Amino acid sequence: MGRPDEGRRASGAPAASARRGRGATLNPDGRFEAATREAFDDGWPAEAEPARLRTEVTLERARSIITRNDSSDIAFDRSINPYRGCEHGCIYCFARPNHAYVGLSPGLDFETRLFAKPDAAALLARELAAPGYRPSPIALGTATDPYQPIERSHGITRQILAVLARHRHPVGLVTKSNLVLRDRDILAEMAAENLVRVAVSVTTLDPDLARRMEPRAPHPRKRLEAIRALSAAGVPVSVLVAPVIPALNDHEIEAILAEARACGADGAAHTLLRLPHELKDLVADWFAEHYPGRQAHALSLVAQARGGKLYDAAFGTRMRGRGAFADLVAQRVRLAKARLGYPERPASLNTGAFAVPGSQLALF
C-alpha cells in the first residue's frame, strides 16, 4: 500500500514534471512508518521523463459514517467525510497528516491516492435510526471537500444529502467547489425548513496564487458565483477566509469579505494557518519553491501566533492563534464584517423537524 507509484521517487521528492498540477512538492513518509527515505544525487541522469501522477480511488467499506467530537473549538459535535484524501491539493490542508493513518504520505499521496465511501448513505440511515439518536447539525466535509472532483462520478455527497433531506436532519456543508450547485434542488428544499447552511471557502481572489496553493480547486470567481447562486436559491451561505496565511493572503481579508457579501453571503469566519505534524515541512518546502522570499517571514508570524512554535494544538486557540498578529487578524475580520453589514450571528439550524427513519412522518 505504501509502494511508490510510477513518477514518485522513493526519496519523497518527486520530479517537477511528474507533479505538475498538484499542490505538494514532496511525498514524505508518514510519521508511523518504520523507515524513512532521503533523496540524494548519485550523478546518473534520469533514464526517462517520469509519468504524471494519476488520481487513484480506492473504495473503503466503512463500518460507521458519523464521527463524533467534543472539541470546544468548533460548533458541531458530529461530522461526515464521504472521502479520505482530497484531489484539490490545497497545500495548507490540516487534514493531510491523516493520510499517515493508512500508511500513505501526507504529501502527494493525500491528493492522488483517495478513498471513497460508497456505503455512506446507507450507513447514515442506519445510524439515524439507532435507538436513542438525538438530532444535532451534522457537518459535512470538515476534513476533506465533499465536492472534490471525484464526487462528479461517485455522487456520495448527493446520496448523503438525500438521506438527510428525507429525514429532515440539519446539516452544515463546507466546500470550495461550485459543484455544490448541482445539489441546489435538495439544498433549497432543506433551506425552506431551516435545515442547511453552506460555507464556501475563498482563500484568495488572486488566480495565480490559487493555482499554486490549491491547484485543482475551482477558480475563486466560480466560488463567488456559487455563493451568489445559493443565496438566490434561498440557501443561507457563509464565506470562510480560511486559512489566513501570513505574508501570502492576509492582505486580502477585507476584499474577500466584501466580494462575498456583495454575492449574498450572510455569514463569515476565518481561521489561521495550522501546521500539525508533517504539514510543517510540506508548507515550508512549498514556500521554498514558489515564494522563497516570503518563507522565513510567513513562518515567523505563524510561530508568533502559536506560542513560539509552528503548531499549538491547545483548545481555544488552535483555530485562530493568539498574540499580536492573531489579534490583529481577528480585529480586521470583525471590523470588516461590521462595516459590510454581516449579521452578528447566523440563525441556528432546525433540529425539531427530525423524522426518525422508519416512522410514518419520514414518508412525507
| 364 pLDDT above the threshold of 60 | no
Which backbone phi and psi does 331 adopt, to 5 degrees?
-65, -40
| 126 pLDDT above the threshold of 50 | yes
pLDDT band, residue 346 (cuts 50/70/90)? confident
pLDDT band, residue 313 (cuts 50/70/90)? confident
In this prediction, residue 318 carries a pLDDT of 66
- Give the pLDDT confidence of 181-231 residue by residue, as tens digits: 999 999 999 999 999 999 999 999 999 999 999 999 999 999 999 999 999
Q: How many CA atoms within 13 Å lie on the side-chain side of 143?
A: 19
| Least confident stretch, 37-51, 106-120, 241-255 | 37-51
- Give the pLDDT confidence of 141-176 residue by residue, as tens digits: 888 999 999 999 999 999 999 999 999 999 999 999
Q: Which helix (H) or strand (E) holds 308?
A: none
- The span from the first CA to the last CA of the chain, in angstroms, equals 46
**Domains in the chain: boundaries:** 56-340
| 249 pLDDT above the threshold of 80 | yes
- Cβ neighbours of residue 194 closer than 8 Å, sequence gap 6 or more: 170, 347, 349, 350
- Give the mean pLDDT of 297-324: 84
Fold annotation for 56-340: pyruvate-formate lyase- activating enzyme (3.80.30)
Q: What is the pTM of this model?
A: 0.89
In this prediction, residue 314 carries a pLDDT of 75
In this prediction, residue 345 carries a pLDDT of 82
**Which three cell numbers, joined as nine digits, stand for 112?**
492522488
In this prediction, residue 11 carries a pLDDT of 42
| 10 pLDDT above the threshold of 50 | no
For residues 117 and 156, is the Cβ–Cβ distance under 8 A?
yes
In this prediction, residue 36 carries a pLDDT of 62
Q: Which of 47, 97, 49, 155 is nearest to 281 (CA)?
A: 97
- Facing residues of 201 across strands? 240
| 41 pLDDT above the threshold of 60 | no
In this prediction, residue 179 carries a pLDDT of 98
For the chain, give the mean pLDDT.
Answer: 89
- Give the mean pLDDT of 334-357: 92
In this prediction, residue 17 carries a pLDDT of 75
Interatomic CA distance for residues 295 and 298, integer angstroms: 5
In this prediction, residue 44 carries a pLDDT of 64
In this prediction, residue 42 carries a pLDDT of 59
- Give the mean pLDDT of 287-313: 92
